Amino acid sequence: MDGLILVDKPWGLTSHDVVSKLRRILGLRQVGHFGTLDPLATGLLLVGVGKATRLFPVLSKHDKAYRGRIRLGLATDTYDAEGQPISAPCCNFPDEKELVRAMAGLSGTIEQLPPPYSAKKVEGKPLYKWTRSKKSVELRPHRVSIYAFRLIRYVPPDVDVEIDCSAGTYIRSLAHDLGQVLGCGAHLADLCRTRVGSFELSEAVSLDKIQEWTSRKQTEKFLRPLESLLEEWPKLLLHRRADRGIAKGRAIEAEQVAQLSEGRRCKGRTNLEEPLIRLFSFDGKFLGLARPDKRDRKIIPFLLLR
């Protein structure tokens, strides 16, 4: 069984909990997710099955969209509602114009620190373990892109927002930083991931549905085949028997190409430094990914789904 599952993650489960449940439901070990959602967050979680797990370097770099609620007036050590207060309660809330200006200042390309309680690895160990052991460690900000930070509704102390951002963005940090800029403190009260790349939450299915369809042997209702993934990238169809060479890591020559078609326009973007090409055998089997080498006009396979 190989493919991608769009899971509607419920509140209270970790992303690893979802993976563990799917392993039991499907009776498979080769299951993995492509981007963590905190236990208190809900929404779209991409999960790979079988050979699809090898696409982590690409699928994990899709941009994302969220709908959330930021609560002003109190900062916490986890930057969300689960944490302990690290500031005195504040009732001096900004007006809407001041709030919108502060949100605009946190948009665009910014340097962001991860929350102290996060799975971000520092010196080979998750940051939350450093924090719990009360050992200090040097944190380096990483660059992220906030494409949109929209105010939907403001009823103090609650700020309802929509966010479009690059992979690697911590929405908890964005909420905390907003509180610091405004001077009243803030934390993330609620979060739902609504999109990953071109995949929408409306397409996702619950764990209960996955279990029901699996028991009925109707996995095609939720499992997206490998051949349907990454359609935003060009598709290269090889001549018969040409795939034998790429299995050995050889470059693809022009005479081995039967057809090269453009990718499909998709919502969202993948934050990769180089363009990709999807490789297919002559009979339509998805073989893996390659990169164009402009210097000698060859195509170099780099990720093969063996």
pLDDT digits (tens, 9 = 90+) for 12-71: 999 999 999 999 999 999 999 998 899 999 999 999 999 999 999 899 999 999 999 999
pLDDT of 128 over the 80 cut: no
- Residues facing residue 155 across a β-bridge: 158
Q: Can you read off the two tokens belonging to residue 137?
A: 């460690």
pLDDT digits (tens, 9 = 90+) for 191-223: 999 999 999 999 999 999 999 999 999 999 999
- H/E run at residue 208: helix 207-215
Determine the pLDDT at residue 192.
98
How would you label 194-220 residue by residue, b for 16+ Cβ within 10 Å and e otherwise? bbbbbbebeebeebeebeebbeeeeee
Determine the pLDDT at residue 268.
61
Q: Among residues 183, 196, 188, which one has the least CA distance to residue 63?
A: 196
pLDDT of 273 over the 70 cut: no
pLDDT of 294 over the 80 cut: no
Determine the pLDDT at residue 266.
65
> CB count, 10 Å around CB of 121?
12
Determine the pLDDT at residue 284.
86
Confidence category of residue 291, pLDDT binned at 50, 70, 90? confident
Domains (range + CATH), the chain: 3-62+199-227 (3.30.2350.10), 64-196 (3.30.2350.10), 230-304 (2.30.130.10)
Specify whether the CB–CB gap between 157 and 71 falls below 8 A.
yes
Determine the pLDDT at residue 176.
97
Read off the amino acid at residue 214. T
Q: Among residues 270, 272, 271, 246, which one has the least CA distance to residue 257?
A: 246
pLDDT digits (tens, 9 = 90+) for 257-266: 767 777 776 6
- Residues facing residue 33 across a β-bridge: 47
Report, as an integer, the average pLDDT of 267-271.
62
**CA-based R_g, the chain, Å:** 22
Q: Can you read off the two tokens belonging to residue 174?
A: 């964005």
Q: What is the largest CA-CA distance in the chain?
A: 71
41 phi/psi in degrees, rounded to 5: -100, 155
pLDDT of 248 over the 70 cut: no
Specify whether the CB–CB gap between 279 and 287 falls below 8 A.
yes
Catalytic (active-site) positions:
38
Question: Is 33 exposed, middle or buried, given 0-12, 13-18 or 19+ CB atoms closer than 10 A?
Answer: buried
